[in-house]
Structure 1
Amino acid sequence: MLNPAPVEVRTDPRTETILTGKPRPRGRLPQESRGYRTYLTVNAIALVIICAVTLYPFVTLIAQSFSSSGAIKAGLVNLLPVGFNLDTYHAVTNDVHFWRSYGNTVLYTVVGTLVAMVLTTLLAYVMSREHLRGRNVIIGIAVFTMFFNGGIIPNYVLISSLELKNTMWAVILPGAMSVFNLLVMKSFFESLPRELEEAARIDGLGWWGIFTRIALPLSKPVLATMTLFYSVQFWNDWFSAFLYLDQTDLYPLSLHLRNLIAGATTTTAESAAAVGTTSAAIKDNVRAVTMVLAIIPILAIYPFVQRHFVSGVMLGAVKG
């Protein structure tokens, strides 16, 4: 009797690792074709180019902040500082108004993000329920506000009539809810498995219990994303403060920097003179210095939020 020819069996590397308990040696998988390897190579090159183009402005900005004003005027600063200079940093950091506006921005961002997340999350969950009466009307009104609004003058009259001028609520409340973020969060809540809510209701949970103990724990990715969006929005907002705040002690950092660059304030020039630098020299690279100091908190927070962007929370919840 003839022996049958041996049959080659190929297993998935992850399955082989689970069955044998030993990790498969690194290297090219046998099923990788030449076209797939070409795709990986082209994809890697494209990502490197995109990263380089994205990082170039930031690296140049940092280099300008440490460069002399003459080098910046001559266009000599590219990726490395030319004429190393720390006088502008000394001038900006010695400005009392700068740190006061920094603290105001932190306060506005924390309180504004908290208020916005509470309002957006509650309304998005309610709008995601199909049995809600008038659901389509509410969604239509929300979408309508994306394309049409009252304008600057009616908003200014409204804030003034509510006696919110020269308060932090004039900066927080007008941007307390983004319709775009609301619709994104509503869509995410609609994708949650209805079986989990039905099981929770059988166990005796009400709608508030389902929302706090089922929906919110499963929504960490979208909550982290919306928190980042609102934080960046409040951190960079200067126009609301420009309209509704008249007291310089209430200015956020973005408005202070806007006035600083536009030459509306002379505090930096006085600080520059104190360290032996003229205001003309400060004028050329003060923008780079202030922008670097302004983006540091966002860059520090982003890595802790980014890890929630891609998550298998829903898959784990469905499988129990």
Structure 2
Amino acid sequence: MKDTKGEKLFFVFNYFMLCIVGLSCLLPLIHTLSVSLSDAHAVRSGFVSLWPSGFSLESYKSLISGTPVVRAFQNSLLITVVGVVLSMVFTVMAAYPLARKSFYLRRFLTLAIVFTMLFSGGIIPTFLLIKELGLINSYWSIWLPGLVSAYNMLVLKSFLENIPAEIEEAARIDGCSELGLLTRIVLPLSLPVIAALTLFYGVHYWNIFMSVLLYIQNVEMHNLTVMVQQMVNSQSLLIEINKQQPDDLSDITPEGIKSAGIIVMVLPMLIVYPLLQKYFVKGVMIGAIKG
């Protein structure tokens, strides 16, 4: 069936708007990358646009030697890896029983979880609770409050509900226990949606910012996002780097180092996303289909 003239015009307009939105996100990132790879003279002169001028890695060398970027990167990696593992384990533990039609409190607990998507305790009560629990300056203050995302749990629950009951019945007839059914049958079949949710959680924990500012008062425990934000707002960046390498200030600029920090922050997610992209759309779309 051929598309009508109106449908063709709609597709052209839709693709055009998507290209505009895509370029609005991509061009600033390309410019930031170009600034981080350009020499100091070109950056000071404002000659850098979408292509590096006078290729130089001095900004990255100064970033590594003059700032705590390595330590912050390690902190971000720890927060992300442990957070993703914990969140995925508890998301599966929450979604699996709620997807069972035989579970008595299934409807009540699902509505209770949806309620949390609409209302929350607020920043001040949450901070007071974290303080009373003694979790200040502990990464548990980051992991525990957002351990399970209600949206991600509902997506996984919807996916699990679409797994044919005949597969589970056959596994039980063969003597498979409930834990064996989950680990050997359900989870392998749920690989697309698990990969998509892993990406969701990974982006969340890698980019987490406000919770670190509120609960982590020890500067040495700050993650990469907070460190880059402080770099961008800092007016004394060159003074700090000057203590490490006083002879190389002519080869660096604050803009170049800040741009290098931003690239270091977003690069891991840019690498991970293409690896999980084939599961991304499939997992979310299947999990959104009912019946």
What is the TM-score of this pair, normalised by structure 2?
0.83
Letter in 1 for 2:28: P
Q: Is the 8 A contact 1:272 1:282 kept in 2?
A: no
The residue number in structure 2 matching 1:148 is: 119
Larger Cα-atom Rg: 1
Of 239, 242, 254, which residue of structure 2 is paired with 1:269? 239
- Return closer, same or farther for 1:162/1:278 CA change in 2, 3 Å cut-off: farther
Structure 2 residue 247 is the aligned partner of structure 1 residue 249: no
Aligned-residue offset at 1:172: 1.6
CA–CA separation in structure 1 for the residues paired with 2:181 and 2:29: 44
Aligned-residue offset at 1:76: 3.9
SS of the equivalent of 1:309 reads helix
Q: Is the 8 A contact 2:224 2:265 kept in 1?
A: yes
Of 188, 191, 208, which residue of structure 2 is paired with 1:237? 208
The residue number in structure 2 matching 1:202 is: 173
Matches within 5 A, 1:38-117: 46=15, 49=19, 52=23, 54-67=25-38, 76-95=47-66, 97-117=68-88
Letter in 2 for 1:270: E
Aligned-residue offset at 1:129: 1.2
SS of the equivalent of 1:175 reads coil
Q: Is the 8 A contact 2:43 2:253 kept in 1?
A: no
Aligned-residue offset at 1:54: 4.6
What is the TM-score of this pair, normalised by structure 1?
0.76
Task: Kindly tell me the number of residue pairs found equivalent between the two proteins.
Answer: 278
Instruction: Give per-residue Cα distances to partners, 1:101-123, cap 9 Å, x unaligned.
Output: 11111011000000000001110
Structure 2 residue 198 is the aligned partner of structure 1 residue 216: no
Over the matched positions of the two proteins, sequence identity in percent amounts to 35
Instruction: Give per-residue Cα distances to partners, 1:42-100, cap 9 Å, x unaligned.
Output: 77x93894655553232222112223567557654321123544332222111352111
CA–CA separation in structure 2 for the residues paired with 1:124 and 1:74: 56
Instruction: Give per-residue Cα distances to partners, 1:180-209, cap 9 Å, x unaligned.
Output: 111111111111111111111121222222
CA–CA separation in structure 2 for the residues paired with 1:222 and 1:172: 21
Letter in 1 for 2:166: E
Which ranges of structure 2 fall in alignment gaps of 5 or more residues? 287-291
The structure, 1 or 2, with the larger RCO (C-alpha pairs under 8 Å, 6+ apart) is 2
Q: Is the 8 A contact 1:113 1:234 kept in 2?
A: yes
RMSD: 3.1
The residue number in structure 2 matching 1:188 is: 159
SS of the equivalent of 1:138 reads helix
Structure 2 residue 285 is the aligned partner of structure 1 residue 296: no
Q: Is the 8 A contact 2:67 2:241 kept in 1?
A: no
Letter in 1 for 2:120: N
CA–CA separation in structure 2 for the residues paired with 1:278 and 1:155: 47
